[in-house]
């Protein structure tokens, strides 16, 4: 992503090295503290085109506010109003947007569409969520853990244990890859047939072999959370699978992030959720609103991490 010799994209968290992640976190922390170096409006005159095929709260607001704070302009493009809806190819859309905007952020139904957009665009493309990955969310999550543990850099996350409970979805995939890059231990606990995709487990294991990290697929949620520094969950029925919600509520019941499971983790373990939450399903009010929750600091970090990403992709220096 950070190679200045060519157009840079952020499609997967695996596009980043541990050093690049650490650099992004340092920049995000500086921006958060109001201590960032350089001009006050470093992206003045720059435009970020944002395509939304899925509903959004945190993504649309954090990217929009981030661009404004950096001096740039966010342009929200509803998929229903684009010519793509009427059959224009992704390639032609990418070429056209490259004539007008300086970068594209896309929240897409299909990961393949994000990749195709990036292949044909001459400007940076950021994956704001796809059915396979959610890299910006995972980066905000790891920064939240680093901050909570008062670590100086992302390198300090080595050996920290994250337990993920529930659907092996796009968020789980990005957390697996990110934890592997950072040398963390991640235990993913999902019901049978709802585990993360084999491709991401294999890629995570390959990355972990280089970093000293560890990927554990543990169907027993109680075993998964033992010794964990952070417990994480997400909705049981991701966008596009709402028709399975009632069935999933039965299957996923033992994986609810509640006080009982939290008690099995380390005494100072924190609670995490990428939001939106279905309270009383994958997580209880007691732990989401409790003193060990860092759910909203996670959400706040979307703004700061994404500003750092935008600066790296769009800054001249």
pLDDT confidence of residue 35: 79
DSSP letter at 236? S
Catalytic residue numbers read: 107, 134, 137, 234, 274, 302
pLDDT cut 70: percent of the chain above it: 97
Of the listed ranges 62-71, 165-174, 192-201, 230-239, the one predicted with least confidence: 230-239
Residue 81's φ and ψ, nearest 5 degrees, are -105, 0
Element (H, E) at 286: helix 285-288
> pLDDT tens digits, residue range 175-221?
999 999 999 999 999 999 999 999 999 999 999 999 999 999 999 99
pLDDT confidence of residue 3: 43
Pull the structure tokens for residue 289: 């609103």
> pLDDT tens digits, residue range 231-252?
999 999 877 777 888 899 999 9
Is the per-residue pLDDT at 130 higher than 50? yes
Q: How many whole angstroms separate alpha carbon 113 and alpha carbon 61? A: 22
pLDDT confidence of residue 39: 78
> pLDDT tens digits, residue range 7-31?
899 999 999 999 999 999 999 999 9
Using 50, 70 and 90 to split pLDDT, how confident is the model at 4?
Answer: very low
Residues in contact with 178: Cβ distance below 8 Å, sequence separation at least 6, in sequence order = 13, 21, 135, 138, 139, 141, 142, 184
Domain range 13-133+301-314, CATH class: alpha beta
Is the per-residue pLDDT at 123 higher than 90? yes
Of the listed ranges 32-46, 135-149, 204-218, the one predicted with least confidence: 32-46
Which long-range contacts link 258-264 to residues 24+ away (Cβ below 8 Å)?
258/283, 258/284, 258/286, 258/287, 259/284, 259/286, 259/287, 261/165, 261/221, 261/222, 261/225, 261/231, 262/225, 262/231, 262/287, 262/292, 264/222, 264/225, 264/226
Partnered with residue 152 across adjacent β-strands are none
Pick one of 3.40.50.80, 3.40.50.1370, 3.40.50.300, 1.10.340.30 as the CATH number of 137-298. Answer: 3.40.50.1370
Is the per-residue pLDDT at 2 higher than 60? no
Q: How many whole angstroms separate alpha carbon 24 and alpha carbon 41? A: 18
Sign of the torsion formed by the C-alpha atoms of 12, 13, 14 and 17:
positive
Domains 13-133+301-314 and 137-298 share a fold: yes
Q: What is the mean pLDDT of the chain?
A: 94
Give domain limits for the chain. Answer: 13-133+301-314, 137-298
Task: Provide the whole-model pTM.
Answer: 0.95
Query: CA torsion, points 95, 129, 306, 272, in degrees to nearest 10?
Result: 180
């Amino acid at each position: 992503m950070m190679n200045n010799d060519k157009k840079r994209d952020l499609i997967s968290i695996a596009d980043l090295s541990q050093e690049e992640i650490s650099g992004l976190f340092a920049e995000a922390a500086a921006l958060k503290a109001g201590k960032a170096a350089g001009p006050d409006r470093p992206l003045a005159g720059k435009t970020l085109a944002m395509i939304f095929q899925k509903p959004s709260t945190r993504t649309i607001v954090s990217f929009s506010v981030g661009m404004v704070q950096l001096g740039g302009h966010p342009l929200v493009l509803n998929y229903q109003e684009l010519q793509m809806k009427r059959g224009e190819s992704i390639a032609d859309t990418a070429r056209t947007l490259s004539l007008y905007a300086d970068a594209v952020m896309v929240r897409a139904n299909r990961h393949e569409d994000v990749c195709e957009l990036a292949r044909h665009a001459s400007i940076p493309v950021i994956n704001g969520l796809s059915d396979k990955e959610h890299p910006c969310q995972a980066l905000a999550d790891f920064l939240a853990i680093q901050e909570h543990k008062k670590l100086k850099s992302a390198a300090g996350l080595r050996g920290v244990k994250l337990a993920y409970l529930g659907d092996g979805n796009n968020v789980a995939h990005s957390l697996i890859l990110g934890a592997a890059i950072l040398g963390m231990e991640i235990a993913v606990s999902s019901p049978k047939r709802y585990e993360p995709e084999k491709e991401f487990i294999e890629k995570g294991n390959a990355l972990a072999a280089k970093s000293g990290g560890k990927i554990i697929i543990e169907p027993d949620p109680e075993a998964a959370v033992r010794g964990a520094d952070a417990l994480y969950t997400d909705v049981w029925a991701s966008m596009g699978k709402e028709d399975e919600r009632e069935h999933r509520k039965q299957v996923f019941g033992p994986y609810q992030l509640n006080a009982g499971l939290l008690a099995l983790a380390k005494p100072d373990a924190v609670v995490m959720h990428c939001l939106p939450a279905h309270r009383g399903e994958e997580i209880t009010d007691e732990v989401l609103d409790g003193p060990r929750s860092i759910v909203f600091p996670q959400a706040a970090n979307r703004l700061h991490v994404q500003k750092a990403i935008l600066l790296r992709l769009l800054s001249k220096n």
